[in-house]
Amino acid sequence: MSERLGSLLVPCCILLVSVYASLYVGMLPPLWFGILPLLPLILAGVAILLAWHFNKGRVLILVLLLLIPKLYGGSDQQASLTAYLVVSCFCISLLGFIPERGFFNHFAVNRILFIFMLVGWCYAIERGWISFSFLDYRFFSSSFTWSTVLLWSVLLLSAGTTGVAWWFSGDAFKASGLVSIVSLLVISYFVSSDTQFDALLSAQFLLWIWFLLMESHRMAYLDDLTKLPGRRSLNEQLVGLSKQYAIAMVDVDHFKKFNDTYGHDMGDKVLKNVASQLKLFAHPGRAFRYGGEEFTVVFRSKHLDEAESSLETIRESIEKAFVTVFDPKKKQEVDINVTVSIGVAFAVSGESTDAVLKRADDALYQSKKKGRNRLTRAPQPKNS
């Protein structure tokens, strides 16, 4: 829950701050008035460079999409609604459901062409080049036309599907996309001047710059397979520990034999399952992927008394959790379970983190030696 809401926190803050700032944009000094019309273009350029650097083709498409009103400059409200707002919200929602395919390849080009085809289609309707006059009739007995109802249906469908998808996935892209859709509605219906428009549009690009920076952090610190913090994140955690802490090493038993029997893709499935159990039961500790089939759990000073019970819960939950894998010999799927061996070491005053990690690893070896699927506490160092 906290991770899900956290993915929406900063985008919402950017939206709220930009709306508040746009109300007072008229109080800016004259110099800033000259820069403000260029600010969306500058931030869009920064976002495109970052998207290129991190190979994020979906963000490239979004930035080009958000630039359309700035480059098009249409002032008619209805034209903005049909040729920009509806297409933009629909495409933002659509991009949340398609996989990332990189920057400047045939996938990105095809998607850009599709979006500009939609924009061109709407523009042609607004200019009267294409006519759907039957949509101008009233929607049953209401004061709305079929055209208005269809447009708002697309808007609500786009916002609704993006919101539901974000709620179930907690995905940062969908969270940013949902806030972008809300921002576009604000821009279309509550902006009364060009300066307000530039301020809110700049916030849109700032939102996606933030997303790209968070993605770079995720790629650097989060393990792609297990979605646990990786070795780099662990090293930074160890640097900031207080004098009292505990480190546990968790290793999947007979993992090499499992890979040889079922294949590496099934081995990856097992690692994901072990990581999911660690996420659920490592609290109040924090789990990391150390490398290969090894994981690390770090407990800070105020939670040391809960460390061993938490590790036992982890061991038992992994043992009871079955994973469906494909058995190449039986040519069918089978349910199997794996076990883990755990070694934990409690730091003493003056001991380095490398020494504590080494003692935890030695305790893990003792768990393996004693028959696996057990927790072993490392003895205190002799010089303590």
pLDDT at 310 over 70: yes
Of 155, 187, 221, which residue is a domain's last?
Answer: 221
d(CA 108, CA 175): 21
Residues 267-279 have a mean pLDDT of 93
Answer yes or no: do 323 and 345 share one domain: yes
Answer yes or no: do 184 and 251 share one domain: no
pLDDT tens, position by position, 207-248:
999 999 998 888 888 898 998 999 999 998 888 788 889 999
372 occurs within a structural domain: yes
Residues of the domain holding 324: 231-377
Task: Give the list of residues 6+ apart from residue 61 with CB closer than 8 angstroms, or none.
Answer: 91, 95, 108, 111, 112, 115
Answer yes or no: do 191 and 237 share one domain: no
The secondary element (H helix, E strand) that includes residue 275 is helix 264-281
Cβ pair 87, 124 in contact under 8 A: no
The pLDDT, as a whole number, for residue 146 is 75
Answer yes or no: do 217 and 258 share one domain: no
Answer yes or no: do 237 and 216 share one domain: no
384 occurs within a structural domain: no
Q: How many domains does the chain have?
A: 2
Name the pLDDT band for 82 (thresholds 50, 70, 90): low
369 occurs within a structural domain: yes
Annotated catalytic, 293? yes
Answer yes or no: do 23 and 129 share one domain: yes
pLDDT tens, position by position, 109-139:
888 888 778 777 767 766 667 666 666 677 7
Answer yes or no: do 67 and 200 share one domain: yes
Answer yes or no: do 210 and 235 share one domain: no
Location of structure tokens 């000094």: 29
* Annotated catalytic residue, options 3, 100, 293, 294: 293
Cβ pair 11, 166 in contact under 8 A: no
Amino acid at 198: D
d(CA 378, CA 363): 5
d(CA 70, CA 312): 59
CATH of the domain at 251: 3.30.70.270
The pLDDT, as a whole number, for residue 131 is 63
Query: In this predicted model, which residue has the larger pLDDT, 143 or 90?
Result: 90
Answer yes or no: do 146 and 211 share one domain: yes
Query: In this predicted model, which residue has the larger pLDDT, 111 or 81?
Result: 111
Amino acid at 83: A
383 occurs within a structural domain: no
Q: Is the pTM of this model over 0.85?
A: no
Give the up-direction half-sphere exposure of residue 248: CA atoms within 13 A in the CB hemisphere.
Answer: 32
Residues 157-164 have a mean pLDDT of 93
Answer yes or no: do 76 and 51 share one domain: yes
Residues 320-327 have a mean pLDDT of 88
User: How many helices (H) and strands (E) in the chain?
Assistant: 15, 7
Answer yes or no: do 245 and 143 share one domain: no
The pLDDT, as a whole number, for residue 126 is 67
120 occurs within a structural domain: yes
The secondary element (H helix, E strand) that includes residue 48 is helix 39-53
Answer yes or no: do 200 and 266 share one domain: no
pLDDT at 359 over 60: yes
